[in-house]
Amino acid sequence: MEKPVRSIVIVGGGTAGWITAGRIAAEHQHNSAQAVQVTLVESATIGIIGVGEGTWPTMRNTLMKLGISETDFIRECNASFKQGAKFAKWVNGADDDFYYHPLMLPQGFQKGDLSDAWQRAGLAQSFSEAVCYQEAVCEHGLSPKLITTPEFASLANYAYHLDAGKFAGFLQKHCTSKLGVKHVLADVTGVVSAENGDISAVQIERAESKTPDQITGDLFVDCTGFSSLLLGKHFAVPFVDRSDVLFIDRAIAVQVPYADEDSPIASHTISTGQQAGWIWDIGLSNRRGVGYVYSSRHTTETEAEATLRNYVGAEFSGLSPRKIPITSGHRELFWKNNCVAVGLSAGFLEPLEASALVLVELSAEMIAEQLPACRSVMDITAKRFNETFLYRWDRIVDFLKLHYILSDRKEPFWVDNRKPESIPESLQALMSLWKFRAPGDHDFTSNNEVFPAASYQYVLYGMGFKTDMNWRSASETERLFAQEQFALNERAVRQALDTLPSNRELISKIKQYGFSAI
């Protein structure tokens, strides 16, 4: 067999770099001659962006694969539990305008669909409230589990809110001490190319000695953030601008302290519609992370800061807001030759629905699990990787856009968002279908879909979309099934409210006692 892929070099050490390094090392790095060596080279001077604070439930699996203890993770990354997103003021901007996109499927979703029955019943309850008990859990600020629930197990499905800066440091410690990842502190100054165009090495200048050196490798992972040093700069893979669909191009973020250490922690991301964008509000265990993402075509920086100040309240004056430019879009390819980009170097979209970290996890997983054995099969893996992730970016763009096109808000930002020329054809086609039937799994073709049909249902019906199902009649069996599911959901709500502690209470207990592994 030709020379196998043995040495993997990760360039950049944010969460993307360390998650990828860890996943590959955990999967392939064993104490044997056939082991793969993972090296992560990181600049000592370039900081990380570090505003990605919301995860998906997939993060639980990622942490487990890395062999991390959930208790340590929660304690050291100031993490708390996230059970979905509450979208406030996205439909008409009124104070009582909100809906939920919880992390659990609608009651009985595997057996039957409730959206039709919910519409026909004309219930006073919103869709998310009628079909998923997690909304009530979030509204009451409750946690998704008990102190007696083992690590990573759940009563209600959950993800995390975390401090991205602390998380990168935590992963670094774990990957270097437990998984044998080699950590090199150096600036990457250049690329050494092989005859076939591959990267044979990166030239570096070591942080301490300031001496030039180079690191050779069989596969290079570009985790250099927005600068996209290898894929974007070296290989000049073009950037696909998606700002024609998603208008957000600026973020202004602050860290808001809690009133005291017993202040409640929201159990979900709160995302509140504003004049020219929306504000995220994420509760960690020690502070909140709050930020306004907006379109600079629809508001000014001064106005945006005033909007954020207005949301945060009096405390804002003591805080130092961080401003981050955003370019919505992604690279035309993610894997070229022997280089694959993960994280911001691959692309970025506004933080709606926390798609950044999950794309990192999905990329790291695919690289780790499908690691090409040798160079001659790498192009096949690369092609598959590119197809998979182009599909995923497209689906995410569609799903994010969906949140905007159903709004009735009258500000120019929202009106422009509804213009047909800004809506991808793929989404327009789905919207046409959904006029007459609810989103279902067959609307999507991947076996590893990023957003399931249920997520589309939560947003569509949460925002008041009407599917006209009068062309078919509901059977008695369907009616009875729906009745049963609504009743089961009510029971689940009562049970959850009776048993679950508050998010704050559980976080305090984890700090004091910790979870058991079993």
Partner 1 sequence: MAKLVSLHNSVHQELRICPEKAESHGAELNMVPVMLSEFLKLAVQFPIALTKNKETGKFVCVAMLGFAEKENLFWQHAKLDTLYTPLHISRQPFFLGRNEAISNLAADAGDQYVVCFDTESDSLVSEGEELLFTHTGEETPYLRKIKAMLAELLDGETHVKAFVESLLELDLLTSMQLDITFSNGESQRVNGMYTIDEKKLNALSGEAVVKLHSAGYLAYIYAMVISTGQIYSLIQKKNARLSLAGLNV
Question: Least distance (Å) from partner 1 to the CB of residue 515?
Answer: 6
Nearer to partner 1, 178 or 509 (CB): 509
Question: Least distance (Å) from partner 1 to the CB of residue 514?
Answer: 7
Residue 458 within binding range of partner 1, rule CB under 8 A: no
Half-sphere exposure of 156 (CA within 13 A, CB side): 34
Nearer to partner 1, 73 or 414 (CB): 73
From 6-14, 140-148, 246-254, 320-328, span contacting partner 1 (CB under 8 A):
140-148
Question: Least distance (Å) from partner 1 to the CB of residue 142?
Answer: 16
Query: Cα 141 to chain center, whole Å?
Result: 22
Rounded to 10°, the helix 375-405/355-369 angle is 160
Residue 75 within binding range of partner 1, rule CB under 8 A: no
Residue 513 within binding range of partner 1, rule CB under 8 A: yes
Using CB under 8 A, which residues numbered 324 to 343 contact partner 1? none
Nearer to partner 1, 436 or 513 (CB): 513
What is the DSSP secondary structure assignment for residue 230, as one 8-state letter?
A: I
Nearer to partner 1, 152 or 399 (CB): 152
What are the φ/ψ torsions at residue 184 (nearest 5 degrees)? -120, 125
From 30-38, 251-259, 303-311, 507-515, span contacting partner 1 (CB under 8 A):
507-515
b vs e for 399-438, b when ≥16 Cβ sit within 10 Å of the residue's Cβ?
bbbbbbbbbebebebbebbeeeebbeeebeebbeebeebb
Q: Pick one of 31, 45, 148, 302: the residue that binds partner 1 (CB under 8 A).
A: 148
Non-local CB neighbours of 457 within 8 Å, separated by 6+ positions: 106, 115, 127, 438, 439
Nearer to partner 1, 32 or 148 (CB): 148
Rounded to 10°, the helix 355-369/58-66 angle is 40
Question: Least distance (Å) from partner 1 to the CB of residue 106?
Answer: 26
- Give the residue among 216, 252, 385 at the shortest CA–CA distance from 325: 252
What are the φ/ψ torsions at residue 281 (nearest 5 degrees)? -145, 110
From 58-66, 84-92, 350-358, 510-518, span contacting partner 1 (CB under 8 A):
510-518
Q: Pick one of 177, 475, 477, 512: the residue that binds partner 1 (CB under 8 A).
A: 512
Nearer to partner 1, 58 or 149 (CB): 149
Distances (CA, A) of 486 to 31, 481, 493: 54, 9, 11
Size of residue set near partner 1 by CB under 8 A:
12
Alpha-carbon dihedral sign for residues 71, 73, 79, 85: negative
Contact 104, 157 (CB under 8 A): yes
Q: Pick one of 64, 147, 324, 469: the residue that binds partner 1 (CB under 8 A).
A: 147
Q: Pick one of 146, 319, 469, 497: the residue that binds partner 1 (CB under 8 A).
A: 146
Give me the helices (H) in 140-249, please.
Answer: 164-177
From 77-85, 145-153, 327-335, 358-366, span contacting partner 1 (CB under 8 A):
145-153
Nearer to partner 1, 189 or 499 (CB): 499
Q: Which two tokens stand for residue 38?
A: 């993972």
Residue 517 within binding range of partner 1, rule CB under 8 A: yes
Number of H-type helices and E-type strands within the chain: 15, 20
- Give the residue among 343, 49, 356 at the shortest CA–CA distance from 221: 343
From 94-102, 143-151, 322-330, 487-495, span contacting partner 1 (CB under 8 A):
143-151
Question: Least distance (Å) from partner 1 to the CB of residue 141?
Answer: 19
The residues binding partner 1 (CB under 8 A) are 146-149, 509, 512-518
